[in-house]
Structure 1
């Protein structure tokens, strides 16, 4: 099973080119779509989820023509958007039962069993009688995954799922998504590098509507191996260093900036070579597209 996107483009009425000939092949498992805010990730996710039209291109889930056979893909799709509304006074199991009906599960006994099983998977069964308006942010996200799981989908899309979660809730969410990725295609759209590094066996980086890379995280790391150097500088020196070096990221620590640069050779001047991580790959790819340094 795979999702194949070819030459997908979308330009909005205000002239913003959100997608520019996007082509991706997404296999079964966890796939990370990484990019800064405004990169086009949500536009791509909404297009795949049949919530908006593309100007051109094609999307196929195996033999299903996603853009032209919307009902077929909706029957096999689970979708957790970045922002989703809940009916605050309705109980967890009541709303999930309603969603199951909307996904075509007509038998009441089958729905009851499915709802209970799904709530157990997301650790919400004990809260099944509670109103959704009483839920914390992490509980809301777990309910969001529960409604996306209903109907045994072949494709699950989650858009910025860990934004705003505390570390404990994030870890629970990681474990849940990992389980889902064992038997289906799960697209994790995020700007949080840690999410992709933790969960995904394959990934792509998108920025300003274009794909900058696609592959496995290890392959991406190999391309910057031996090229990342670090040095602590004063904040007042930042402009000077940006003029001389390819600065990819900075972190403020005890009043000084820890500066990371990319260089084909040892730049000297007090820089030390460091082992690259996926964050270096990400910043290296998008550093020429957006202004990353705002101190």
Structure 2
């Protein structure tokens, strides 16, 4: 099972170039698509999900031409968009039963078994008769995964699934996604580095509609390891440091600005070498396209 994206481009009528000649190869397992808000991630996800057409390029899922045979793709697709509506007064079990009917599962007994199984899987069975409008943010996201799993899809797309979740709900969601990713292609679109670091064996970084990096997280970390240095400075001195060094990220800690730079050689001047992590990989690439102060 493999999803192949080749030379995909999309420009909106207002002139915004959302996708700029994007090519990606996405194997079975968890694949992280990492980028800041407005990077083009959601446009790419909607295009893969057959909800909009690109201006040019191609997408194939195994032997299926995604852009031409949309119905075949939809039969194999599970999709959890960033924002999805729920009927607040309808219970989880009734809604899932309805979705299963829409997916072509006509046998009532078969649907009942499926709905119960999915609600158990996402730990919502005890809340199955409650109206969806009473669900917390984490419960809504888990229900979203349940509806995406109807029909045993071979391709699952989840767009910004952990945004707004508290740490305990995020951990539950991580465990659920990890289990799902064992036998399917799962694309996790997010701006949260921790999501990719925790879940994904393969990843890509996208910004301003372009792929800046693709590979395994460990490979990305190895590419910058030994090149990352940090120093605490006064906030007022930031401009001076940005002129002298390749600043990739800044963070305000206890009134001081913690500065991280990328350098092939030890810069001296009080900088301390630190082990690289995936956040450094992300900021190293993104800072070449976007002002690191605004990331």
User: TM-score band (shorter)?
Assistant: over 0.9
Q: Distance in 2 between matches of 1:275 and 1:97?
A: 50
Structure 1 residue aligned with 2:86: 86
Structure 2 residue aligned with 1:105: 105
Structure 2 residue aligned with 1:164: 164
* Structure 1 residue 292, shift from structure 2 partner: 2.1
Q: Distance in 2 between matches of 1:111 and 1:291?
A: 51
In the alignment, does 2:29 pair up with 1:18?
Answer: no
Structure 1 unaligned regions, length at least 5: none
Q: Distance in 2 between matches of 1:205 and 1:158?
A: 16
CA deviation digits over 1:140-189, x for unaligned, max 9?
00000000011000000000000000000000000000000001000000
Q: Distance in 2 between matches of 1:103 and 1:216?
A: 34
Q: Distance in 2 between matches of 1:42 and 1:178?
A: 21
The answer as to whether partners of 2:251 and 2:259 remain within 8 angstroms in 1 is yes
Q: Distance in 2 between matches of 1:255 and 1:89?
A: 48
Structure 2 residue aligned with 1:245: 245
TM-score normalized by the length of structure 1: 0.99
* Structure 1 residue 294, shift from structure 2 partner: 4.4
The farther-off stretch of 168-177 and 98-107 is 98-107
**Any idea what SS the aligned residue of 1:118 has?**
helix
* Structure 1 residue 104, shift from structure 2 partner: 1.0
CA deviation digits over 1:190-218, x for unaligned, max 9?
00000000000000000000000100001
**Any idea what SS the aligned residue of 1:37 has?**
coil
Q: Distance in 1 between matches of 2:11 and 2:254?
A: 44
Which residues of 2 match residues 276-291 of structure 1 at below 5 A?
276-291=276-291
Structure 2 residue aligned with 1:115: 115
* Structure 1 residue 110, shift from structure 2 partner: 0.5
* Structure 1 residue 6, shift from structure 2 partner: 0.4
Where in structure 1 do 4 or more consecutive aligned residues deviate above 6 Å? none
Q: Distance in 2 between matches of 1:108 and 1:9?
A: 43
TM-score normalized by the length of structure 2: 0.99
Q: Over the residues paired in the alignment, what is the CA RMSD in angstroms?
A: 0.8
**Any idea what SS the aligned residue of 2:129 has?**
coil
